[in-house]
Amino acid sequence: MTVLLFALTAVLVGTVLQRVSGTGVGLVVAPVLSLLMGPGAGVLATNAATTCSGFLITLSVRRLVEWRHAAVLVASALPGIVAGALVVRLVPAGWLQVAVGLVVLTGLAITRFSPATPYATRRATAVPAGVVGGFCNATAGVAAPAMVIYSRVTRWDQVRFAATMQPVFMSMGLLSVVSKLVAGVHFALPVPGIVAVVALVVTVLLGIVLGTWLARHLSKAVAQKLAMALATVGGVVVLVRGLLTLLSG
């Protein structure tokens, strides 16, 4: 039950941040659940949480979504998701924890410290961004850094970007869950499945309500900084735990 409470707290914080800034669930939840449940099950649970949060937030921002653009990114992500699912199935837990930590920290560093990037067209960068985002989503539960970099390169309007990412994250999460189950990735929940699903949905809905309220009082810059800080701590902890697992083995 303690594991579930910590997991739901991470989902709540991530959903609030995602409602405010467009990203947050994967960045916050993936490191926490990887620690609580192990890297394979943790990332799989993160994908499920991302699917739920993306769907519910999409309902509230659907008029701002660029649907054709979202479809291109999701279709491009599929090869990366399939490859990532096989990696999760085959790579030992210690190495996967190291990979999760490195992906999270590298993505955050690029997102945080990259200088002004040159302009590139969507036609030239949408497919590579989708493939990389799909692979990162399947292996680490974190597609946001790749999408943020893509938005900077293409000069994507922040409001449209934040809205369009919700169906993209939802679809990537769902495809990642399905591909991993097909690939034979196993996981165990601390509570019955129906309890976990209901708790997840209720937590995400609460996060959306809180995030909508905070959006009127908290700047996006502050929310993004908080998400980065929480995800950095989580990424460091996961990386260290993976290294310790490898050294002890």
Is residue 141 predicted with pLDDT exceeding 70?
yes
Q: What percent of the chain has pLDDT over 90?
A: 26
For residue range 204-240, list pLDDT tens digits in order: 999 989 988 887 887 767 766 766 676 677 678 778 8
For residue range 85-102, list pLDDT tens digits in order: 888 888 887 887 788 778
Is residue 154 predicted with pLDDT exceeding 70?
yes
Q: Ranked by mean pLDDT, which of 117-131, 162-176, 179-193 comes out on top?
A: 162-176
- The pLDDT assigned to 117 comes to 63
- The pTM of the full predicted model, rounded to 2 decimals, is 0.81
The Cβ-side half-sphere exposure at 142, using a 13 Å CA radius, reads 32
Q: How confident is the model at residue 66 (pLDDT cuts 50, 70, 90)?
A: very high
Is residue 78 predicted with pLDDT exceeding 90?
yes
Q: How confident is the model at residue 114 (pLDDT cuts 50, 70, 90)?
A: low
Domain count, the chain: 1
- Residue 218 to residues 43, 58, 226, 243, Cα–Cα distance (Å): 29, 21, 11, 37
Average pLDDT, rounded, for the chain:
83
- The pLDDT assigned to 115 comes to 64
For residue range 10-25, list pLDDT tens digits in order: 899 888 888 877 777 8
For residue range 170-214, list pLDDT tens digits in order: 999 999 899 888 877 766 676 777 888 898 899 999 998 998 888
Residue 11 vs residue 149, higher pLDDT: 11
**What value does the mean pLDDT take over residues 35-63?**
86
Its domain, for residue 224, covers 2-248
Is residue 129 predicted with pLDDT exceeding 70?
yes
